[in-house]
Amino acid sequence: MTTLTLALAQINTRLGDVPANLEKHLALAADAHARGADLIVFPELSLTGYMLQDLAPTVAMRPAADPPALRRLLEASRELDIVAGFVEDDDAHRLYISSAYLSQGEVVHIHRKIYLPTYGLFQDGRFFGVGSTARGFTTRFGRMGLLICEDFWHVSPPYLLWLDGAEMLVCVSASPGRGLAAETGLESARWVEDISHAYAQLFSIFVAQTNRVGLEDGLTFWGAASVFAPDGRRLAQGPFFEEAVTLAEIDLAEVARLRSRLPLLRDERPDLIVRELDRLQRSGSSGGSGHGAT
């Protein structure tokens, strides 16, 4: 089955109140299921809220310990697949910003946020550990990749997921609005819109992104979930600033059809990337220091 009805949930959250946020997840998942959705995607840290700071350890979950919130979401995932965001404790008290893909009562995949913005208003790196993998995973609809906010502001995680066979990128965020200007609205909103659109075409892939709404102190999250098809068509657009669940009909077979006439992935040269990256690393002229190097 390559067709699915995707539901992108852009929700407000209560900061640090997992039980209240969980109830909202379950209610919206049931509602989306009733509207025919096969997969509902919630934003980054959807079970906890975003600017957790010292709340992070108090809301963390260890998936291996069968925490009640996860158990109830897994039960709900027997009706439709669910992507939800949470603080993950890795059993050694290292905390991550994670999102889990749940289906048929099972945890199919957990992605740990790789790029933790720690600049400007952002403090992720102060409170969380860095994820170290970008892996595609196989769902009952096809192969997908899951990324969290800053992960898709960097080109490398979407690129790696493309090479790993993903037919759809699912990008979740808690992105605060900033850079208000006359012509372009919020710069951060335009940015996410532009790169989502670009990744769809660059990688002949579906890109589905959702972002939370509401405020935390003076930060306003702008919502505006969107879905782009591999040829760049916009398939769905959620409203700005308001809670909403936006549905989109997707046929992942469209990826195969487009790639048969535009074989960018077939012709991609990972060997060239590896060779040139290796040279840049050895000559010390590559941009990033890499995590753990500082």
The answer to whether 185 touches 149, Cβ cutoff 8 Å, is no
CB of 16 to another protein, least distance (A): 6
110 vs 225 by CB, closer to another protein: 225
Of 65, 92, 218, 293, which one interacts with another protein (CB under 8 A)? 218
Of 30, 163, 197, 220, which one interacts with another protein (CB under 8 A)? 220
95: left (phi over 0), alpha (psi -120 to 50) or beta: beta
The answer to whether 169 touches 136, Cβ cutoff 8 Å, is no
Q: Is 65 in the site for another protein (CB under 8 A)?
A: no
Q: Is 174 in the site for another protein (CB under 8 A)?
A: no
Residue whose token pair is 């997921």:
161
Binding track over 125-164 against another protein, x by CB under 8 A: ----------------------------------------
CB of 185 to another protein, least distance (A): 6
Q: Is 237 in the site for another protein (CB under 8 A)?
A: no
48 vs 139 by CB, closer to another protein: 48
CB of 188 to another protein, least distance (A): 12
Of 122, 159, 191, 241, which one interacts with another protein (CB under 8 A)? 241
Instruction: Give the Cα separation of 294 and 291 in Å (integer).
Output: 7
Of 65, 92, 119, 183, which one interacts with another protein (CB under 8 A)? 183
63 vs 239 by CB, closer to another protein: 239
For the CA atoms of the chain, what is the radius of gyration?
Answer: 18
Q: Is 238 in the site for another protein (CB under 8 A)?
A: no
Q: Is 267 in the site for another protein (CB under 8 A)?
A: no
CB of 117 to another protein, least distance (A): 17
Of 64, 155, 180, 280, which one interacts with another protein (CB under 8 A)? 180
Using CB under 8 A, list all residues that contact another protein: 14-17, 51, 53-55, 177, 180-183, 185-186, 214-218, 220, 241
